[in-house]
Structure 1
Amino acid sequence: MSRFIAALLSAGAVGAIASTAVVAQEAPKVSAQKPSARPVATPKQARARADSIVAKLTLDEKIALVHGLFPPMADGKTQNELIPSAGHIDGVPRVGIPIVRESDASLGVANQVEQRKGDVATALPSSLATAASFDPEIARAGGAMIGAEARAKRFNVLLAGGVNLTRDPWGGRNFEYLGEDPLLAGELAGAHIAGVQSNRIVSTIKHFALNAQETGRMVLDAQIDEAALRESDLLAFQIAIEKGKPGSVMAAYNKVNGHWASENDFLLNQVLKRDWNYPGWVMSDWGGVHSTVKAANAGLDQQSGQELDKAMFFAAPLKAAVEKGEVPMKRLDDMVARYLTGLILTGAFDTPMPATAQPIDYAANAQVAQRAAEAGIVLLKNEGDILPLAASAKKILVIGGGADVGVISGGGSSQVRSVGGAPIEIPLAYGGSASFARITYHASSPLAALRKAAPGATIEFTDGRNLNATLEAATKADIAIVFATQWTTEADDVPNLRLPDHQDALIAAVAKAQPKTVAVLTTGGPVTMPWLDAVPAVLQAWYPGQRGGEAIANILTGKVNPSGRLPITFPARESQAPRPTPVGLDLLTGLARDAAANPAAAGDFSLKTFPVKYPEGSDVGYRWYERQGNTPLFAFGHGLSYTSFAYAQPQVSGGKTLTVSFTVTNTGKRAGADVPQLYVTREGSNKPMRLAGFQRVTLNPGESRRVTLTAEPRILADYDTSLPGWRIAGGTYRVAIARDATDRSMTLTTTLDATTMKP
């Protein structure tokens, strides 16, 4: 969900709604640590109950449940309280249907432009950081925490669960998603969704499907063949739905193979509802509906934020279409029943929301956010064991990145106004996100945290703008730590992978002046590093959330041993990516130029539908690099530690199931966590290896543990449209027990039986 924020910033909407804000104050009562138990109900039981309720509804009541209000633009359209937020659907009290209030998003309860004055929430690190933990428990804890806060703030639907695969390293929304691998993304998204829903509220899963870039996202046509789509992006959704059982699926803005995602019969009716037997409801994204009859019959169940669409397609037009028989009454009943089923299965239907906002234990929830950041920070390079900071480093210089006041966060509908406020908040003058996004920092200063974590050292700060003074200070320090930032946002892709604002030149100059230089990257995804050979230590901190400063300081000083692994490939050069620049960016640039040349007709210049082709198919990310024979800068799965691990005594078994077991030993002097990874391919297929299993293992020095990984069968299979379904070819399979996607130091072979599986 996205475009609603633009409306907030227009026509004085923020001021108009501020007086109705509901603010949760800090008090130690509601915590993510004790979520409510989920109710016990099977999908069949929930649907039967939903059908019995639908049978009691009038036509007008049914229509009212399949389109939702956008609160900032919905004055006078309901007698019930409108909490400033993303969405609102009135209930039907006479049959027990509750009011539904919807809020963004995956990183916390959003309040992007402070439409609820003074209301703050706990901000998780970016989803890429959570993915880098390779730990479903970290993902679940984060979901449980933000779900608890949502309930305390009286929201019963969170527009969370972003699981779109990263196909391009420049994607503006990559930070909101869980990386490039369908197994990793699916497992962690499912855990996050389950955590949210443990609070008896609904989490969506989004954006279904192929929202892989922001440039032209409202009009582009994503083109890919069915088998490739099933083996990649759809597999991530499928696994996440199986693991998390989200109450709702949110359709994407874009087209997929010629049809809008919100009216795509293949995606909604054939894949989601028929093949996967999904019981919940499909909602649109805000401003993402294009028709009444086609959308309803193709499987869209609810129009969200109706005021942002060109028409209220699922209001009076839908009623008329039902009365004419263009949309069967049976289909309308199904739309309503699916909505109620999603609410019933998650417990949202039967768990009343509090009448007023409830206290929240923000201190406890901050620890959840900090643990996630610490687990997801990746040590990319540590030449000469320059990290952790030695006690002998008495004079430390911290440079740039706003590290004196906080840590940067990503922009768009996921933006959380975090506890502690925003020490930096910069409005934008241009770009697709200018109307609703701001460059925003969380008030968690790495400088202050470092001073607290290393009280015996003198730690100074310079913003780096005076280069001569910065270099002079660097030469006098024992070590220099350069914080570099890259802001990314929903609605805009980055035009290239270079650090902006001449930060590459700054890092190179500092490294030349001070051989002991550490680069800390707070970015939305991969960046190129032309200075890498000269910098002995590099830390990828992503957008680390509202306790990011503390997490970074703990990693740098060794209070926490780094254990993150890259969930996304870092290319050595932009040209290595399947699409080295955003498709359609040139079209946007041309439109902007034409509009500037003819301001009177600027409204006539709009981006038309254009194709985005995905020739890599299911070979997303690291598989593309292997297929092309390209060596990345840092591979998927890569990450260093302050200790060392050894793998021994591998065994593999085949037949109907591929399983490997091996012993992992901490051979170093510090406790730490390792992430062994299982990659598999069929011998003779010439197909790249794919991640088929992984496990995060925490060990004390000298400790060993036997680890068993069972391969996800759909990773071993090819999708066969002629079955239709999954087909594992019988024969020999090559297995790698690895530290990253390029590691082939421990390989085995086994034989698998031929088998098929349903879609």
Structure 2
Amino acid sequence: MKKLCSSILILTCMLVNNPEIFAQKKGSKLDDNIESKIDSILPLLTLKEKVDMCHAQSKFSTKGVGRLGIPEIWMSDGPHGVRAEISWDSWDYAGWTNDSITAFPALTCLAATFNPELAEAIGFSLGEEARYRKKDVLLGPGVNIYRTPLNGRNFEYMGEDPFLASKMVVPYIKGVQKNNVAACVKHFALNNQEHWRNTVNVEVSDRALHEIYLPAFKAAVQEAGVWAVMGAYNKFRGQYTTHNELLTKKILKGDWNYDGVVISDWSSAHNTMEAAMNGLDLEMGTGTDGLGTNSVNHYDNYYLASPFLKALKSGEIDEAVLNDKVRRILRLMFRTTLKPNRGFGRINNKEHHDVARKVAQEGIVLLKNENKFFPIEDKKGVTIAVIGENATRSMTAGGGSSELKPQFEISPLEGLKARYKNANIVHAMGYATGPSVYDAIIPSKLNADSLKTEAVKVAKNADIVLFFGGLNKSHLQDCEGADRTQFNLPFGQDQLLNDILKVNKNVGYILMSGNAVEMPWLKNIDGLIQTWYLGSMAGYSIADVVSGDVNPSGKLPFSFPVKLEDNAAHSFGESSYPGIDEEQTYKEGILVGYRWHDTKKITPLYAFGYGLSYTSFNISDVKTDKKTYRANEKIKVTCQVTNTGILDGSEVVQVYIGKPKSKVKRALKELKGFEKINLKKGISKTVEVTIDIANLAFYDESISDWNLEKGGYVVYVGNASNNTVKTIKINIK
């Protein structure tokens, strides 16, 4: 004991006089000397101090060790902006006046850009804002796969395709972490619905797990070098995913050699022994709404708190297990809060607003444009009726943990009024949701018939109608904690739109949602734009596209089925979604999204990768560099893209590959490469997309590993999953 005290005193003196023990030499690589520093620190920590570092001390922070100069770790939601400050012991907001931020577009919008450069830009901007707010860990991005259009949190994720999600998440994470703020990719894994999220047990094949649900996480770890991973709420094969022996211990920390921390989702830990032995490092939010009414500090009753300490003292758990967790936590600190010269970050600056606007502009998807409804000119004497509560409603409020407190939020109505100086813009609410984002299921106090009557009257007297509808971030819509209960639009929007169409046929629909919706009225409208949730610059971005100041270039990151039963998860009935008695089987296997539509020949309403432009493009001269490849080679696909229209614009060349006559069940084709190109009108450019042959392997359950089949493959090149302009047969030896 005297020896330990002496060592602690020596280290304390060293820290006071030699702060470089916690610093890195200028210009050194991130991990140079870090492990040796951690080795020197671990023996100086008491068992209790080490255990205290493994669980929360407040809603969003963990303990440091003051006597050794080891700092606290501070975290914040979320993937689209840094959340307003939360109270120490409750979910109440702290009431700060200096925690307003820039709200960035939701990740569905980012995925729809098909532009990895923008993913890096939004990540870097978020990292700067998190750094300004003195956060060490930003709890995002989310990469759970879009499996059902009813999932309340789909708007936080990057769509249905693992390749697209992987390509977009890597630069996002790198951008955040350039600020020495840790990104925390979530939710690992199979958290594909909010219904029963805390208890549902998911059964899925190894093949679907590795081919569909894990690739984006794997890319985050192995390509982006993410510093934190958040566990999920649900179970997988009977064991909670946050401390799952296969997922967290074997795959994440074993097969992928992940060296960062695993953080529980708030209250997703359930067992001390499993949490200790299966890879959980930081336990957050367990059962606490503050300190409760107990006289004992509730944080000490976490699974990785006093019960963990007791098991360590008794020898039931070896101290080496604890040391691995503390080593990872210290490694996180050296990468973030102990990193010298971190900078101070920036917040609400013009550059961040520009990034938010640019992502929104490129993510907006033009889905229908009959009779060239869009763009709409700003003509004197023209009346544009803007109908719908979504034209004025805040879309940064609500949604659960992704709720934001922006410095400002430009509504669509504000954006249109700012852009259209000559046309007459009039607004009618038309429909109303509940009194707050948390009470959308409670009827509005406003009279629905009066709202409808007024909207129809306004529409009748207008030259053009823009109907702003869709969903919002309220409970039972696009919101954490519950799934949607219907595929069709809420609040009587379908009937209102039909009534408007009876008095004015010149209608365009601005769809605001993070999910696909049913559209029984689609054939009766001329224009349709999918705008997602766009954050602070929403109104300006929408006006940019509606007016034609910006040519739309977004592509859908998930399929829109005609009816709910056309979606793979729903086609198998309750056992597949939402499950029966909290047991659920992913019966569609690998056939998620467009893989299902293509393979089963079920025509979607709108296909994955689809999106129109105000100009036109021609993809020609498609070829591969050769016809036969070996396993260690790359396929080089080239084509000519020509802007044949009258406006500058951007197109996304998409390359899919299929394997006919495979020894295993496969999708008709799968996205394996894409490239976004901007072209002036009348200009042609050569586009090259490179694909590693190794990425054509399937996960072979008979050997529990990846297997590359030899033989014939088909390369599909086009600009949507259902629009191929050229197919090429190749052979792999």
Q: TM-score range by the shorter chain?
A: 0.7 to 0.9
Q: Which residue of 2 aligns with 1:451?
A: 417
Q: Which residue of 2 aligns with 1:21?
A: none
Report Cα offsets for 1:457-505 as digits up to 9, x if no partner.
1111111254344333323322110000312100010011111011111
Contact 1:208/1:252, CA 8 A, preserved across alignment: yes
Q: Which residue of 1 aligns with 2:399?
A: 411
Supply the distance in 2 between the matched residues of 1:44 and 1:179 (Cα, whole angstroms).
Answer: 37
- 1:220-235 alignment, distance < 5 Å: 220-235=200-215
Contact 2:100/2:406, CA 8 A, preserved across alignment: yes
Per the alignment, do residues 683 and 218 of structure 1 end up closer, same or farther by CA in structure 2, a change over 3 Å counting?
A: same
Instruction: State the Cα distance separating 1:40 from its structure 2 match.
Output: 5.4
Instruction: State the Cα distance separating 1:401 from its structure 2 match.
Output: 2.5
Local SS of the residue matching 1:171:
coil
Q: Which of the residues 585, 604, 607 maps onto 1:632?
A: 604
Supply the distance in 1 between the matched residues of 2:246 and 2:27 (Cα, whole angstroms).
Answer: 32
Local SS of the residue matching 2:728:
strand
Contact 2:378/2:547, CA 8 A, preserved across alignment: no
Q: Which residue of 2 aligns with 1:92?
A: 65
Supply the distance in 1 between the matched residues of 2:573 and 2:342 (Cα, whole angstroms).
Answer: 44
Supply the distance in 2 between the matched residues of 1:67 and 1:460 (Cα, whole angstroms).
Answer: 54
Supply the distance in 1 between the matched residues of 2:399 and 2:731 (Cα, whole angstroms).
Answer: 48
Q: Which residue of 1 aligns with 2:49?
A: 61
Q: Which residue of 2 aligns with 1:270?
A: 250
1:114 aligns with 2:93: yes
Q: Which of the residues 344, 366, 384 maps onto 1:379?
A: 366
Indicate the percent of aligned positions where both proteins have the same amino acid. 35
Instruction: State the Cα distance separating 1:544 from its structure 2 match.
Output: 1.4
Contact 1:714/1:726, CA 8 A, preserved across alignment: no
Q: Which residue of 1 aligns with 2:548?
A: 558
Report Cα offsets for 1:218-253 as digits up to 9, x if no partner.
000111011210011111211222332111111111
> 272-281 vs 236-245, which deviates more?
236-245
Q: Which of the residues 475, 491, 509 maps onto 2:481?
A: 491
1:217 aligns with 2:190: no
Instruction: State the Cα distance separating 1:54 from its structure 2 match.
Output: 2.0
Q: Which residue of 2 aligns with 1:471?
A: 456
Contact 1:219/1:608, CA 8 A, preserved across alignment: no
Per the alignment, do residues 97 and 350 of structure 1 end up closer, same or farther by CA in structure 2, a change over 3 Å counting?
A: farther
User: What count of residue pairs does the alignment treat as equivalent?
Assistant: 659
Per the alignment, do residues 736 and 587 of structure 1 end up closer, same or farther by CA in structure 2, a change over 3 Å counting?
A: closer
1:501 aligns with 2:474: no
1:643 aligns with 2:615: yes
Supply the distance in 2 between the matched residues of 1:359 and 1:293 (Cα, whole angstroms).
Answer: 42
Instruction: State the Cα distance separating 1:42 from its structure 2 match.
Output: 6.0
Corresponding letter in the other structure for 1:332: L
Contact 2:56/2:283, CA 8 A, preserved across alignment: yes
Per the alignment, do residues 734 and 585 of structure 1 end up closer, same or farther by CA in structure 2, a change over 3 Å counting?
A: closer
Instruction: State the Cα distance separating 1:292 from its structure 2 match.
Output: 1.0
Contact 2:128/2:345, CA 8 A, preserved across alignment: no
Q: Kindly report the root-mean-square deviation, in angstroms, between the aligned alpha carbons of the 2 structures.
A: 2.6
Q: Which residue of 2 aligns with 1:79?
A: none
Q: Which residue of 1 aligns with 2:338?
A: 349
Contact 1:407/1:549, CA 8 A, preserved across alignment: no
Supply the distance in 2 between the matched residues of 1:198 and 1:97 (Cα, whole angstroms).
Answer: 22
Instruction: State the Cα distance separating 1:308 from its structure 2 match.
Output: 2.8
Per the alignment, do residues 250 and 408 of structure 1 end up closer, same or farther by CA in structure 2, a change over 3 Å counting?
A: closer
Q: Which of the residues 694, 700, 708 maps onto 1:720?
A: 700
Instruction: State the Cα distance separating 1:198 from its structure 2 match.
Output: 1.1
Instruction: State the Cα distance separating 1:408 from its structure 2 match.
Output: 6.1
Per the alignment, do residues 718 and 492 of structure 1 end up closer, same or farther by CA in structure 2, a change over 3 Å counting?
A: same
Corresponding letter in the other structure for 2:145: L
Per the alignment, do residues 650 and 579 of structure 1 end up closer, same or farther by CA in structure 2, a change over 3 Å counting?
A: closer
Report Cα offsets for 1:536-555 as digits up to 9, x if no partner.
10000011111101100110
Instruction: State the Cα distance separating 1:325 from its structure 2 match.
Output: 2.2
Corresponding letter in the other structure for 1:612: Q
Q: Which residue of 1 aligns with 2:330?
A: 340
- 1:503-542 alignment, distance < 5 Å: 503-542=493-532
Q: Which residue of 1 aligns with 2:153?
A: 173
Local SS of the residue matching 2:725:
coil
Supply the distance in 2 between the matched residues of 1:116 and 1:141 (Cα, whole angstroms).
Answer: 30
Q: Which residue of 1 aligns with 2:115?
A: 135
Corresponding letter in the other structure for 2:512: T
Per the alignment, do residues 336 and 583 of structure 1 end up closer, same or farther by CA in structure 2, a change over 3 Å counting?
A: farther
Supply the distance in 1 between the matched residues of 2:33 and 2:253 (Cα, whole angstroms).
Answer: 17
Instruction: State the Cα distance separating 1:315 from its structure 2 match.
Output: 1.2
Contact 1:164/1:233, CA 8 A, preserved across alignment: yes
> 466-475 vs 481-490, which deviates more?
466-475
Per the alignment, do residues 56 and 703 of structure 1 end up closer, same or farther by CA in structure 2, a change over 3 Å counting?
A: farther
Instruction: State the Cα distance separating 1:217 from its structure 2 match.
Output: 0.3
Q: Which of the residues 655, 658, 668 maps onto 1:688?
A: 668
Local SS of the residue matching 2:528:
strand
Q: Which of the residues 559, 563, 575 maps onto 1:573?
A: 563
Local SS of the residue matching 1:745:
strand
Mind listing any 5+ residue stretches in structure 1 that lack a counterpart? 1-36, 72-86, 421-442, 589-606, 754-759
Instruction: State the Cα distance separating 1:409 from its structure 2 match.
Output: 5.4
Supply the distance in 2 between the matched residues of 1:42 and 1:152 (Cα, whole angstroms).
Answer: 21
Report Cα offsets for 1:160-208 as digits up to 9, x if no partner.
1211111111100000011010011112122211111111111111110
Corresponding letter in the other structure for 2:130: A
Corresponding letter in the other structure for 1:362: N
Report Cα offsets for 1:499-557 as digits up to 9, x if no partner.
10111112222233222211001112110110000001000001111110110011000
Per the alignment, do residues 44 and 616 of structure 1 end up closer, same or farther by CA in structure 2, a change over 3 Å counting?
A: farther
Q: Which of the residues 357, 360, 369 maps onto 1:370?
A: 357
Supply the distance in 1 between the matched residues of 2:640 and 2:52 (Cα, whole angstroms).
Answer: 58
Instruction: State the Cα distance separating 1:110 from its structure 2 match.
Output: 0.8
Instruction: State the Cα distance separating 1:645 from its structure 2 match.
Output: 1.1
Instruction: State the Cα distance separating 1:404 from its structure 2 match.
Output: 4.1
Local SS of the residue matching 1:677:
strand
Corresponding letter in the other structure for 1:509: D
Corresponding letter in the other structure for 1:349: L
Supply the distance in 1 between the matched residues of 2:703 and 2:572 (Cα, whole angstroms).
Answer: 36
Supply the distance in 1 between the matched residues of 2:511 and 2:318 (Cα, whole angstroms).
Answer: 54
Q: Which residue of 2 aligns with 1:5?
A: none
Per the alignment, do residues 583 and 138 of structure 1 end up closer, same or farther by CA in structure 2, a change over 3 Å counting?
A: farther
Instruction: State the Cα distance separating 1:690 from its structure 2 match.
Output: 0.6
Local SS of the residue matching 1:529:
coil
Report Cα offsets for 1:23-79 as digits up to 9, x if no partner.
xxxxxxxxxxxxxx99753668544443333233221221111112224xxxxxxxx
Contact 1:38/1:199, CA 8 A, preserved across alignment: no
Corresponding letter in the other structure for 2:338: F
Per the alignment, do residues 541 and 516 of structure 1 end up closer, same or farther by CA in structure 2, a change over 3 Å counting?
A: same
Contact 2:348/2:407, CA 8 A, preserved across alignment: no
Report Cα offsets for 1:602-659 as digits up to 9, x if no partner.
xxxxx99721110112222111222322111000000001111111111113513222
Q: Which residue of 1 aligns with 2:383?
A: 395
Corresponding letter in the other structure for 1:630: I
Q: Which residue of 1 aligns with 2:438?
A: none
Instruction: State the Cα distance separating 1:750 from its structure 2 match.
Output: 0.9
TM-score normalised by structure 2 residue count: 0.85
Supply the distance in 1 between the matched residues of 2:556 and 2:649 (Cα, whole angstroms).
Answer: 17
Local SS of the residue matching 1:287:
coil
Contact 1:186/1:235, CA 8 A, preserved across alignment: yes
Supply the distance in 2 between the matched residues of 1:696 and 1:409 (Cα, whole angstroms).
Answer: 32
Mind listing any 5+ residue stretches in structure 2 that lack a counterpart? 1-24, 87-91, 290-297, 432-450, 473-477
Per the alignment, do residues 522 and 665 of structure 1 end up closer, same or farther by CA in structure 2, a change over 3 Å counting?
A: same
1:663 aligns with 2:673: no
Local SS of the residue matching 2:223:
helix
